Structure 1
Amino acid sequence: MDELIERARKALRSSYAPYSAYRVGAALRTADGTVFTGCNIENANYSNSVHAEELAISKAVEDGHREFESIAVTSSKRDGVTPCGMCRQTLTEFCDEELQIVCDEDDAVAAYTLGELLPNTISSENLED
């Protein structure tokens, strides 16, 4: 996971966060080991901002990937930031509850599964009923 955290840290350097100054980077590892990164991109209209995790997922999906193994998330504050609810829901579209989520906390990492962070999620199975 150290490599994935390092890739997320590198991605946050590209962040555009002039309003909050809260820079975020993410690194998403696909089932075949390919890594896609993303950073947050703010907009004066906050609802149009792009989250780092969303950008990494979008890049991976655009490249044809639909299966993911793990994601690492970091912030410029190294405060253990986890994916927000919207990003968790997007991850659920492609990942099962065992997806590993690693969050950067200073010199340590916290590890979760997607199921721990988003139990009883809305999924395609819910929509089929």
Structure 2
Amino acid sequence: MVALGSDHGGYDLKQEVIGYLKEKGIAFKDFGCMGKESCDYPEYGRAAAEAVAGGECDMGIVICTTGIGISIVANKVKGVRCALCADTVSARLTREHNDANMLAMGAGIIGKNLALGIVETFLNTPFSGEEKHARRVKAIE
């Protein structure tokens, strides 16, 4: 299951991600926000991150205008490795090398088509399991 979280700046892009997840039959839980009214991203980023860290969800996707603030919040939760990605290469490499369990995106930075490509790449790329990467992930923890 994929945890989702956004603020008002990421709401529209989150709706596009929800459409993609539904189309692919991927289960998700939306931790908010639930509209375009101004709100504070830490509440929703933290809720999604806690669901991933606690095992309720396997992965998470969080979105704000830049992706920066919400990724910082997610990374404050022990057990979360959230990567801010604006391209598919970064999305692939953060899964292969860092075993990232959360993806952050900036709705004001990337468009829908690129965002959905990033989501697809992130969700479908496994951790490489290479010893050097496993060692580094363990050091992060």
Range into which the TM-score falls when normalised by the shorter chain? 0.3 to 0.5
TM-score if structure 2 supplies the norm length? 0.36
Structure with bigger RCO (C-alpha 8 Å, 6+ apart): 2
TM-score, normalization by structure 1 = 0.38
Q: Where is the strand percentage greater, Structure 1 or Structure 2?
A: 1
Q: Which has the higher helix share?
A: 2
